[in-house]
Amino acid sequence: MNKSDLSFDIKEKIRETKLGDLKIGGNTARSFMRENENNTRPLIAIELPYIVDKSYPEILKEIWRCSSVEQMIQTAQETDADIISIKFNLTEEETDNRLKEIKCFLKNVLSSVNKPLILRGANNDALDLKLLPLLSEYAPKQCIISFAQESTYEQIVPVVAKYNHLLVLRSPIDINLAKELNILSIDKGIEPEKILIDPDMGGLGYGLDYGYSIIEKIRQAAFDGDTMLNMPIIAFIGEESYRAKEAKSDTFNSQWGDYKERSAMWEIAGASAMISAGADIVVLWNPQSVKAIKSLLTGEICL
């Protein structure tokens, strides 16, 4: 069987953009389909909390052995991750008091980071309408800003576009809503090449099948020629995985296996599935998962 027998009709490839030296998108097929000569590889981000509080899983505190985001950043730079993501996990009471502190953090700490950055809000509309414009303005270099959605895009998109960042657009696991938000955001001034689609997937045990099928549908629509759905896809696997008690609790009996291995495998399973579906960036929390997914992508299995 020759290569032409294995290919399929592609009307449109995935849009290609750059973040620093990284190339995002540009593929003509889903991952692992090498016969179609994908010219980029999926990227792996490691995500850190701005505040290491009691909500952060104990297993990850033990693995990182760090008590502050500054220490975690130094350790993260030594991992195989392509991108470092910072989630500004603030509360409403903290946000106003910490805005000046965050400006200093962006200027003094992140300016020394040698990997590209994702800067995430608090997943709260009221907070993110304050945070994301600030992150966009004071980011030390071009970053991925995450995220705008239907309720916030009108205010967030123009600021992110002004400072030339990439923007994650989140829609609730629906292909039509994803397309609509892309169109509306482009109308607000952001270039299509600066958009990353976040279909708000569920993690393993929390809607993996549904999340997989939506990413698959978005990818197929793109390959079929839909230029409002051919943006790269990003999936925040770590956040979803560590909502599951199976990944963050050691109260299960011994038949569930070693807790540390299970915690990483929960995230690895979700990440590998989403990469297979067509995700261009997966965002993980566990550095052991980063190592395993990297080895999967290079053909060297390392758990």
Range with lowest mean pLDDT among 9-23, 178-192, 193-207:
193-207
pTM of this structure: 0.93
* Mean pLDDT, range 271-284, rounded to an integer: 94
pLDDT tens string 45-82 = 999 999 999 989 999 999 999 889 999 999 999 999 99
Q: What is the pLDDT of residue 6?
A: 41
pLDDT at 3 over 50: no
Interatomic CA distance for residues 201 and 236, integer angstroms: 8
Interatomic CA distance for residues 1 and 110, integer angstroms: 50
Q: What is the pLDDT of residue 93?
A: 76
Name, in order, each residue with C-beta under 8 angstroms of 133's C-beta and a sequence gap of 6 or more.
155, 156, 159
The residue ranges of every structural domain in the chain are 3-298
Interatomic CA distance for residues 54 and 242, integer angstroms: 14
- Here the tokens at position 293 are 């997914």
pLDDT tens string 75-86 = 999 999 999 999
Question: How far from 178 is each of 210, 217, 279, CA to CA, in Å?
Answer: 15, 11, 14
Name, in order, each residue with C-beta under 8 angstroms of 296's C-beta and a sequence gap of 6 or more.
268, 272
* Mean pLDDT, range 19-41, rounded to an integer: 79
- Here the tokens at position 282 are 């997966």
- Here the tokens at position 75 are 């350790």
DSSP secondary structure of 156-194: HHHHHHHTT-EEEEE-SS-HHHHHHHHHHHHHTT--GGG
- Does domain 3-298 fall into CATH 3.20.20.20? yes
pLDDT at 156 over 90: yes
Closest-CA residue to 107 (of 76, 135, 74, 146): 135
